[in-house]
């Protein structure tokens, strides 16, 4: 089978996807016909050779095309292969809002972009209606939750085989995992690290967004919870506004929401170190740790993202390292929680999640 591939987005994850598309196991099935950055598109029905001659190849050789024009070009060559897919490796709301049109053109979508599936119920409904109208078209999004971890596929398998999911609970943010693994470990170091220092270090390592407010406000976790909740046969809460309908505890101190510069944000975050240290000390005195978790509780009808305490012996305390994610599925079929754990962030593992979806089409 030959799959025609169009990649939109050539950043860190997009570059990792290009590297994996060049691997023999994928290259024998795939023909890269289109490659787009935020300004230009390189389109070649005969295939774009990999690896690219230079990092700026698209910018220097491509042309200015609207996304709708790229879709039209893909539609014109769709009959030349068994499958045509668009990989959305952006964080663009414009691309996300175009999903119904892309799918309606008979082009499947693979994506780590959470926006389309975690935004308004109206957009989600349009996507679902389009998919229902043409079963040959797919929208696969393993990498939207847990990067390369098999979270989406596991949940789908549980639901499709008739198991009843009672509760999903976990540490869904690699960034917040790193921060609290160091700030509130099971055995606290002396002297304890300052919260702002750990956030600064996470920023230096590239674990946070350019402005850590985007991580500390919890919206990323809320988006992932929305995606999972919508995969259940009965969504516990309607979530009409998607992730904005999820009760979310922000860790971003009041007054810093409008600070746009990431470095200034971290500097001013130090003013709140005392409050964070007080929370850490209270948890430690009870033999507990702090973890930022997301919960989809079907039985109680709750979806929420919040900072919680767990016993220092709990898997959320002892099993995590670095920027790991850990997700526990509580179901009727499993007597004990089904736990998935591992690297929940990084370009290579995120690209792997996208490529695993691509192989499902072969």
The catalytic site residues sit at 224
Going 199 to 340 to 249 to 211, the CA torsion angle's sign is positive
Give every strand in the sheet of 139-140, ordered side by side: 41-43, 30-36, 3-8, 83-88, 108-110, 139-140
Residue 232 main-chain phi, psi, to 5 deg: -80, 150
| DSSP state letter for 301 | T
The Cα–Cα gap between 15 and 56 comes to 12
Place of tokens 């979530």: 239
- Measured over all CA atoms, what is the biggest interatomic distance in the chain, rounded to whole angstroms? 66
What token pair was written down for 117?
């599936």
Count of Cβ atoms closer than 10 Å to residue 114 Cβ? 23
Residue 238 burial (CB < 10 Å; 0-12/13-18/19+)? Answer: exposed
Beta strands at 83-88 and 3-8: parallel, antiparallel or unpaired: parallel
| Residue 9 known to bind ligand | yes
Q: Which residues pair with 165 in a beta bridge?
A: 331
| Residue 41 known to bind ligand | no
| Residue 11 known to bind ligand | yes
| Residue 242 known to bind ligand | no
| Residue 209 known to bind ligand | yes
Beta strands at 108-110 and 139-140: parallel, antiparallel or unpaired: parallel
DSSP string across 211-242: STHHHHT-HHHHHHHHHHHHHSSS-SS--TTG
| Residue 13 known to bind ligand | yes
| Residue 111 known to bind ligand | no
What token pair was written down for 239?
């979530």
Residue 208 main-chain phi, psi, to 5 deg: -100, 170
| Residue 2 known to bind ligand | no
The Cα–Cα gap between 71 and 93 comes to 16
The Cα–Cα gap between 149 and 72 comes to 33
Using left for φ > 0, alpha for ψ between -120 and 50, and beta otherwise, residue 52 falls in beta
| Residue 225 known to bind ligand | no
Contact 221, 292 (CB under 8 A): yes
| DSSP state letter for 295 | E
Binding residues for NADP(+): 9-14
Q: Which residues are annotated as a binding site for L-homoserine?
A: 209
Give the annotated binding-site residues. Answer: 9-14, 90, 114, 209
Q: Detail the residues annotated as belonging to a binding site for NADPH.
A: 90, 114
């Amino acid at each position: 089978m030959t799959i025609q591939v169009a990649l939109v987005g050539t950043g860190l994850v997009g570059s990792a996807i290009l590297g994996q598309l060049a691997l023999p196991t994928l290259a024998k099935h795939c023909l890269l016909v289109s490659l787009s950055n935020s300004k230009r598109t390189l389109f070649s029905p005969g295939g774009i050779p990999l690896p690219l001659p230079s990092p700026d190849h698209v910018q220097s050789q491509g042309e200015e095309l609207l996304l709708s024009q790229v879709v039209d070009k893909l539609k014109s060559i769709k009959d030349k292969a068994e499958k045509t897919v668009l990989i959305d490796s952006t964080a663009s709301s414009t691309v996300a809002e175009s999903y119904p049109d892309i799918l309606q053109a008979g082009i499947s979508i693979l994506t780590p972009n959470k926006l389309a599936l975690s935004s308004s119920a109206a957009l989600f409904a349009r996507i679902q209606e389009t998919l229902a109208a043409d079963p040959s078209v797919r929208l696969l999004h393993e990498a939207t939750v847990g990067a390369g971890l098999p979270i989406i596929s596991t949940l789908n398998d549980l639901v499709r085989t008739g198991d009843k999911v009672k509760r999903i609970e976990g540490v869904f943010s690699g960034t917040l995992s790193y921060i609290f693994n160091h700030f509130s470990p099971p055995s606290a170091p002396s002297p304890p690290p300052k919260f702002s220092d750990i956030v600064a270090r996470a920023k230096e390592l590239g674990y946070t967004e350019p402005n850590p407010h985007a991580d500390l406000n919890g919206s990323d976790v809320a988006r992932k919870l929305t995606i999972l909740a919508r995969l259940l046969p009965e969504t516990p809460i309607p979530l009409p506004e998607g992730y904005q309908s999820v009760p979310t505890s922000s860790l971003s101190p009041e007054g810093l929401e409008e600070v746009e510069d990431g470095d200034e944000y971290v500097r001013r975050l130090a003013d709140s170190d005392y409050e964070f240290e007080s929370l850490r000390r209270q948890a430690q005195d009870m033999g507990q740790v702090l973890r930022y978790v997301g919960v989809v509780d079907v039985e109680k009808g709750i979806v929420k993202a919040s900072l919680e305490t767990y016993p220092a012996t709990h898997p959320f305390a002892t099993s995590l390292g670095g920027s790991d994610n850990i997700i526990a599925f509580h179901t009727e079929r499993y007597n004990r929680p089904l736990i998935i754990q591992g690297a929940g962030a990084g370009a290579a593992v995120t690209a792997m999640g996208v490529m695993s979806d691509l192989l499902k089409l072969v």
